[in-house]
C-alpha cells in the first residue's frame, strides 16, 4: 500500500462539502465559491493551489469557522462546525499560520506571550497553568522551530526577521499539539532562504506529530511539491482538479492546472 493510499484510508479530519459563498447584495452580489468540496485526512497534507482571487483564502476562512458559507457544510472530526461544540472542538484542536507573520503576531507582545496565548486560551477554566510550565512549553515549541528560547522568548516581532517571525507564528500554531494545521500562504511573504527554514519547520512538526493533518494554501508549486500529499486546484471558486501531488503536478488534466504547471517551469 502506498503512502498516499495509507493517508486516504486514515480517518477524515476536516471535510468541506459543496460550499457556496458570495459577498455583497443585489446587483453587487458576487459569488466567490461555487460548490467546493475538500477533505483532509489524519496525517495528510492537502495543498490548495490557485491564482489570486480564486477563493483560496475564503475557503480557508470558512473551513476555520471564521466565515459562514451560504450553503454547504464543514465537518471537523465528523461534527459540523456550525454547531457550538463542533466549532469549539475545531478551535481547540487546530492551529493557523497566516501569510504575513508581522501582521499575525501582535506587535506589542513578546514571542512568549504570542506563542503562549493558545495554551492560555485552551486550558479549561478550572485548570491552572503556572508561568514556569507555560514558558517551558513555549520554549519547546520554539526549539522545534530551531529558535533558541533564551534569545527569542522575550523578543518582539519588530526585532525579528521575516523568517524568524514566521517560525514564531508556526510555533504559536503548533504549541498545543493540534490535530490540524492550516497554513494560508505561509511562505509567500518571505525570502527564498527563509522559505527553506519554514519548510524544515513544517517537516519537523509533521515528524513530531505524524497523525496531524495539514491544509496548505499556496500559489507556489515548488513549496507544494516538496510538502503536499494531495493537491486541490481552485480556479474562479471551482475545484477544477484534485489528486495526489505527483499525479496533479506530473500529469495535470485540467487546462488551468496545465497552465499553472507550465508557468511554474518557466
Among 8-16, 46-54, 151-159, 192-200, which window interacts with other proteins (CB under 8 A)? 151-159
Burial of 164 (0-12, 13-18, 19+ CB in 10 A): buried
Out of 34, 155, 206, 219, which residue is the one contacting other proteins (CB under 8 A)?
A: 155
Q: Nearest distance from residue 180's CB to other proteins, in Å? A: 12
What CA–CA distances, in Å, run from 85 to 63, 79, 110, 198? 15, 8, 31, 33
Whole-number Å distance between alpha carbons of 176 and 257: 36
Per-residue cell: 106 = 501582535
Neighbouring CB atoms inside 10 A of 239's CB total 21
Dihedral (Cα; 87, 92, 95, 99), 10-degree rounding: 50
Burial of 25 (0-12, 13-18, 19+ CB in 10 A): exposed
Out of 85, 154, 191, 200, which residue is the one contacting other proteins (CB under 8 A)?
A: 154
28 in contact with other proteins (CB under 8 A): no
Q: Nearest distance from residue 62's CB to other proteins, in Å? A: 12
Per-residue cell: 224 = 507544494
Site string for other proteins, 165-204 (x = CB under 8 A): -------x--------------------------------
Comparing CB distances to other proteins, the nearer of 92 and 206 is: 92
6 in contact with other proteins (CB under 8 A): no
Out of 13, 57, 112, 166, which residue is the one contacting other proteins (CB under 8 A)?
A: 112
Whole-number Å distance between alpha carbons of 190 and 174: 20
Handedness of CA 50, 55, 56, 57 (dihedral sign): positive
Comparing CB distances to other proteins, the nearer of 3 and 177 is: 177
- Total residue length of the chain: 266
Out of 31, 70, 77, 117, which residue is the one contacting other proteins (CB under 8 A)?
A: 117
96 in contact with other proteins (CB under 8 A): yes
Out of 26, 28, 130, 266, which residue is the one contacting other proteins (CB under 8 A)?
A: 130
Tell me the sheet residues that pair with 239: 234
Comparing CB distances to other proteins, the nearer of 205 and 245 is: 205
Q: Which of residues 30-89 bind other proteins (CB under 8 A)?
A: 64-66, 88
Out of 12, 161, 225, 226, which residue is the one contacting other proteins (CB under 8 A)?
A: 161
Count of residues that bind other proteins according to CB under 8 A: 43
Neighbouring CB atoms inside 10 A of 181's CB total 24
Q: Do residues 181 and 95 make contact, with C-beta atoms less than 8 angstroms apart?
A: yes
User: Where does this chain bind other proteins (CB under 8 A)?
Assistant: 64-66, 88, 91-92, 94, 96, 98, 100, 103-109, 112, 114, 117-118, 121-122, 130-132, 135-136, 138-139, 149-151, 153-156, 158-161, 164, 172
Amino acid at each position: 500500500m502506498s503512502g498516499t493510499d495509507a493517508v486516504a484510508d486514515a480517518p477524515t479530519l476536516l471535510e468541506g462539502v459543496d460550499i457556496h459563498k458570495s459577498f455583497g447584495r443585489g446587483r453587487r452580489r458576487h459569488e466567490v465559491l461555487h460548490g467546493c468540496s475538500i477533505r483532509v485526512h489524519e496525517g495528510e497534507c492537502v495543498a490548495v493551489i490557485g491564482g489570486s482571487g480564486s477563493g483560496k483564502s475564503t475557503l480557508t476562512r470558512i473551513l476555520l469557522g471564521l466565515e459562514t458559507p451560504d450553503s454547504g457544510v464543514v465537518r471537523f472530526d465528523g461534527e459540523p462546525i456550525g454547531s457550538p461544540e463542533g466549532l469549539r472542538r475545531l478551535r481547540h484542536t487546530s492551529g493557523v499560520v497566516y501569510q504575513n507573520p508581522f501582521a499575525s503576531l501582535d506587535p506589542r507582545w513578546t514571542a512568549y506571550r504570542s506563542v503562549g496565548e493558545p495554551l492560555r486560551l485552551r486550558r479549561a477554566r478550572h485548570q491552572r497553568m503556572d508561568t514556569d510550565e507555560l514558558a517551558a512549553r513555549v520554549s519547546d515549541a520554539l526549539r522545534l522551530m530551531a529558535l533558541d528560547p533564551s534569545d527569542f522568548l522575550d523578543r518582539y516581532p519588530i526585532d525579528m526577521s521575516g523568517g524568524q517571525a514566521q517560525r514564531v507564528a508556526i510555533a504559536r500554531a503548533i504549541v498545543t499539539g493540534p490535530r490540524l494545521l492550516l497554513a494560508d500562504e505561509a511562505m509567500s511573504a518571505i525570502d527564498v532562504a527563509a522559505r527553506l527554514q519554514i519548510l524544515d519547520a513544517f517537516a519537523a512538526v509533521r515528524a513530531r506529530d505524524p497523525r496531524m493533518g495539514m491544509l496548505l494554501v499556496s500559489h507556489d508549486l515548488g513549496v507544494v511539491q516538496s510538502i503536499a500529499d494531495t493537491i486541490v486546484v481552485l480556479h474562479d471558486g471551482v475545484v477544477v482538479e484534485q489528486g495526489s501531488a505527483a499525479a496533479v503536478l506530473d500529469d495535470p488534466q485540467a487546462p488551468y492546472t496545465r497552465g499553472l504547471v507550465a508557468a511554474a517551469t518557466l
